[in-house]
Structure 1
Amino acid sequence: MTITWITVCDTCKREGWDAAAQPQTDGEALAALIEAAARNCTHLRVRRHSCLMGCGRGCNVTIQARGKIGYTLGDFIPCPEAAEAIVAYARLHAESATGQVPYRQWPQEVKGHFITRHPPLPED
């Protein structure tokens, strides 16, 4: 099984974010929750990246693996339920030979959050 990567935009700020009132960005908060949720998942890795350029739909994540279709998801509220759903979907992505997961298997909390689908890069 290949490693599936969850890349979390750690600079995302949802509408209404207030630097004076919030010690971290919404993206940093979501990243920490995802990192905790994926801690014991052997076929998942989490990394942070500054700006995935989806600012109008923050908080954004990508789910991708070598040789598989990848996805960008966004417009999450940084909460444990969102993080658990993102990790659950990424596990299904890791288990899939192509990266495609049947809609009926998607966790409810990721439905409506898909922004783009990326075909795998060619091998040559």
Structure 2
Amino acid sequence: MTSWITICDTCKREGWTPQTQPLTDGEIFAGLIEDRAASAGVKTRRVSCMMGCVRACNVAVQAPEKLSYVLGTFEPSPENAQAIVDYAALHQASETGQVPYRDWPQAVKGHFTTRMTPLPDTD
């Protein structure tokens, strides 16, 4: 089952101004993640505002019927983008979406803000 990385493209880290940086931090981060995701076999999508402004840059790793994770407080760097993609690939390979801590890429450790259980498939 394909895992998705949802990326907030409106995230702005403290000190961001359009005069010094025409793209938001989220737009920069989204581009870095998108550049790496296809080769890992995970999908991406951008959303405008994940309401985690104090933790910019924010992403979610999700797949149907699996645990979902929200991560934040990233610098939009190539290394962080690759770590998120690597984590999403591990999430995709996991039956439940849970990835053992020992397998987490170093750059995602300390950035998890929420884990959500899958929605029930019955009413």
Category of TM-score, reference length = shorter chain: over 0.9
The residue type paired with residue 37 of structure 2 is A
- Unaligned segments of structure 2, at least 5 residues: none
2:46 to 31, 44, 48: 48
Superposed displacement of residue 23, structure 1: 1.4
Instruction: Tell me the residue number matched to 2:29.
Output: 30
Instruction: State the partner residue of 1:110.
Output: 108
Q: Counterpart in 1 of 2:96? A: 98
Structure 1 counterpart of 2:80, one-letter code: A
Q: RMSD over aligned Cα, in angstroms?
A: 0.6
Q: Structure 1: which 5+ runs fail to align?
A: none
Cα shift at 1:41: 2.4
TM superposition score normalised by structure 2: 0.98
Deviation at 1:58, TM superposition (A): 0.3
CA deviation profile, 1:53-78 (whole Å, cap 9, x unmatched): 00000000000000000000000000
Which runs of 4 or more aligned residues in structure 1 lie more than 4 Å from their structure 2 counterparts after TM superposition?
Answer: none
2:40–2:86 contact (8 Å) kept in structure 1: no
Task: Report the Cα distance in structure 2 between the residues aligned to 1:85 and 1:39, rounded to whole angstroms.
Answer: 14
Return the alpha-carbon distance in structure 1 between the equivalents of residues 22 and 16 of structure 2: 10
- Shift, 1:86, TM fit: 0.1
- 1:56 corresponds to which letter in structure 2? V
Cα deviation digits, residues 65-118 of structure 1 (max 9, x gap): 000000000000000000000000000000000000000000000000000001
SS at match of 1:39: helix
- How many angstroms does 1:39 deviate by? 2.2
Residue type of the alignment partner of 2:82: E
